[in-house]
Chain A
Amino acid sequence: MAFLPYVGRTLKNLFSKPATESFPAGERIYPDRYRGHIENDIDKCILCGSCQRNCPSSAIKVNKADFSWEIHPFSCVQCSKCVEVCPVKCLSMVNSFTEPGAEKTSIVNRFSQERIEKEKEKQRLMAEKIAAAKKAAAEKAAAAKAPAQTPAGT
């Protein structure tokens, strides 16, 4: 008679609503911690490359020359490692599924034109500063060499 409770259970299943959610007709409620997909707030990103170095599946590419940050969503394994290591906390794990696609393409986030101009200007100034510093150092070295040679020559 051990099967009787199970028969009851089966009959109950017959008349109760399905155990599964009716998706996509019904809304899927994700728990807060759900690891869905990675999004980058590119305005805050400093292209440091830390996420790229730490990603175990090499899904992220940071291209400093092009001012772009790129993720291959189909390689990403949703481990959250990049979110943890990002120094400016611009990456976030969003709790909804990865968008499907007909092709396995990467998502590229690029700095805004305005920010690219600013960055280029910054880089130019930095390059000038470095060049100036180098020149000064070279002059200093030459000056240091010259008196050192003079006593040796006399």
Chain B
Amino acid sequence: MAVNNNAKKISVVPFGPQHPVLPEPIHLDLVLKDEKVVYALPSIGFVHRGLEKLVEKRDYEQFVLIAERTCGICSFGHGMGYVEAIEKIMNLDIPPRAKFLRTMWAELARMHNHLMWLGLQADAFGFESLFMECWRLREKVLDMLELTTGGRVIFSVNKVGGLRKDVTPEMLEQILKTLDGLEKECRVVTDTFLGDPDVLSRMKGVGVLTPGRAEELGCCGPFLRASGVKRDCRQLGYEAYGELKFEPIVSYDGDCYARCLVRIEELYQSMDLVRQCIAKMPGGDIAVKVTGNPNGEYMVRIEQPRGEALYYVKANGTRYLTRYRNRTPTYANIPGLIETIKGAELADVAMMILTIDPCISCTER
């Protein structure tokens, strides 16, 4: 039977959960009119692991190690958000050295996340050698992390009451030395992102999100800041951020290029914050003694590399918690993503999904 294609111009293209450019299993039903997306319907739930429920089966100290395994990239932040909530419930005063070290590691984690993202972005628009270059640089950050914590992406250094490992002055020196070399090498790569005509032709003016809509849809992180909203949870001053000098990085265009720009600036900002941390690093203990069990509830907000994450803990006075809730940045950014995809060309969709830096395994926990 002949189909009259002219009468039926709308088609639905399934996108994901397995897609060459997407490292993560998100599924979108794209409603297309010719090559233009008119509507997108997301569905998630492919990698749900029930980590929040596991809190009832593992005691609150063991759960630090599970909380940080929520994600392979923002692992440090997840562990930190969780222990901070428990520490607030138990009224523990963490030694300043632990606070500075946590901040330093959080910033190193941000650096490796952003370099990874830049690589993936280059891969999404087909610039293979730039992708390799970004990941080669990221390896240097991972080496610093491996040297100080023993793990490349899962650090396992947090515990309730402080840290499990201290760093030596030699390690700090090594970090500073690596940072200097890294910064120079990063400049070459990031200048290519910001100035190469091929790259610009793919990103400028693509997927614009206005500040008003970005805020209405509850976006967060670099995605929100690229739309001109100056909001960065690190300004709340948790851990050692209160004692460091920095300004949230914003860009006003709201397109893919702006998101790239914000992440690149944040990469250098993180290097600066690591240097500030090391310069101000206080001495002393890295942990306080913890006695008893937590009883009460608390909610913590922290700025992960991908945006604002939320940790809610409810304890009942035993070793096992009643509830742990984690709202991750990608979850908040999906509505914004759907908004930007509407009206886009099909070929740009993959790249737009990447510009929110999706992490579906954290989103589904």
Contact = CB atoms under 8 A, between A and B. Distances in A.
Nearest to B139: A19
B288 interface: no
Interface stretch (A2-10, A98-106, A109-117, A146-154): A2-10
A2 B192 CA distance: 6
Given A5-B191, A84-B164, A33 B148 contact: yes
B156 A2 contact: no
A47 interface: no
Interface in B145-193: 146-151, 154, 156, 164-165, 188-189, 191-192
A31 B165 CA distance: 14
Contact of B146 (A3, A31, A77): A31
Contacts of B194: 2
B129 A10 contact: yes
A31 B147 CA distance: 6
Interface in B53-89: 58, 62-63, 65-66, 69
A48 to B, nearest CB: 18
B212 interface: no
Contacts of B192: 2-3, 5-6
B130 interface: yes
A63 interface: no
A82 to B, nearest CB: 11
A39 to B, nearest CB: 15
Interface in A76-108: 77-81, 84, 93, 95
B71 to A, nearest CB: 14
Is chain B's interface secondary structure helix, strand, loop, or mixed overall? helix
A54 B58 CA distance: 9
A35 B150 contact: yes
A19 B136 contact: yes
Contacts of A54: 62
A4 B198 CA distance: 13
Contact of B165 (A13, A19, A33, A81): A33
B contact residues, range: 20 to 34
A3 B146 CA distance: 33
B196 interface: yes
Contacts of A19: 136, 139
Given A5-B191, A77-B65, A80-B164, A34 B150 contact: yes
* Residue in B58, B164, B192 with the greatest tally of chain A CB atoms within 10 Å: B192
B26 to A, nearest CB: 26
Contacts of B65: 56, 77, 79, 81
Contacts of B197: 3
Contacts of A13: 129, 133
Contacts of A77: 65, 69, 154
Contact of A35 (B133, B147, B156, B191): B156
A35 B196 contact: no
B188 A33 contact: no
B284 interface: no
Interface string A12-49: 01000001000000000001011100000000000000
Contact of B189 (A6, A56, A81): A6
Interface string B115-153: 000000000000001100100100100000011111100
By Cβ-Cβ distance, the 6 closest A-B pairs, closest first, are A2-B195, A33-B150, A56-B62, A6-B192, A35-B150, A79-B65
Interface of A: 2-3, 5-6, 9-10, 13, 19, 31, 33-35, 54, 56, 77-81, 84, 93, 95
21 contacts: A2-B191, A2-B192, A3-B192, A3-B196, A6-B130, A31-B146, A31-B147, A33-B148, A34-B146, A35-B151, A35-B156, A54-B62, A56-B62, A56-B65, A77-B65, A77-B154, A79-B65, A80-B150, A80-B164, A81-B65, A84-B164
Interface of B: 58, 62-63, 65-66, 69, 129-130, 133, 136, 139, 146-151, 154, 156, 164-165, 188-189, 191-192, 194-198
Given A9-B133, A34-B146, A35-B150, 12 more contacts: A2-B192, A2-B194, A6-B188, A6-B189, A9-B188, A10-B133, A19-B139, A33-B147, A34-B150, A77-B65, A78-B151, A79-B156
